[in-house]
Amino acid sequence: MDDGWGNVTYNLFQNNTYYAIIVDNGDYLNIHHNRFIDNNLSKLFGDSQAVDRESDNNLWYDPISKEGNHWSDHQSGKPYKIGEGSAVDRYPLDSNMVRIPRNWTELIIGIVLGTSLVAVLAWMAYPKIEARRQIAKKRQQRRKRAAIQLDYDKMVDEEIQKAREKILL
């Protein structure tokens, strides 16, 4: 890739003998949300699956979402080095395309925020749940009253039938 100003996003680069992407003198490329799977397995050409030679202006992650690419040979939450130059994917993604926490603090913050979000959603849903409970309770009370009324009507009908039978005898 030469002379940048573009995006390389949402692609699958798989089973390439050499690097999946070679950036030579390309500037201002945004390369993120791609899957790099089993490229450069022989490691004859370096340790990474892509190379970015001397282009400090390229981003291998989305600066807004802080999400990079999935690298099949990357396991930790540390940045992924892109070939020989200084380029790195600061926010590599796991196989589900979810950002890998870089340290315990990020992981704990993610858990706390996730738990807080669940609590807020539950709090927001509580009035609706409570209203539904009240409606269900009122329906149950009406059904009980209707059942009592049916039992009463049945009893009255039986008494009337008995009284008719006495009269007819």
Q: Exposed (0-12), middle (13-18) or buried (19+): which is 79, by Cβ within 10 Å? A: middle
Residue 36: the pLDDT is 93
10-33 pLDDT, tens digit per residue, is: 999 999 888 888 888 767 889 999
Distance CA 13, CA 55 (A): 21
Domain map (residue ranges) of the chain: 1-102, 103-169
Distance CA 89, CA 62 (A): 10
Distance CA 139, CA 7 (A): 59
Distance CA 98, CA 69 (A): 9
Pairing label, strands 88-89, 80-81:
antiparallel
Residue 89: the pLDDT is 92
48-75 pLDDT, tens digit per residue, is: 899 888 667 889 999 988 889 999 998 7
Please state the rounded mean pLDDT for residues 135-155: 84
Could you tell me the pLDDT band of residue 127, with boundaries at 50, 70 and 90? confident
Average pLDDT over all residues of the chain: 80
Task: Give the pTM.
Answer: 0.56
Please state the rounded mean pLDDT for residues 74-103: 78
Q: Examine the pLDDT at 126 and tell me if it is beyond 60.
A: yes
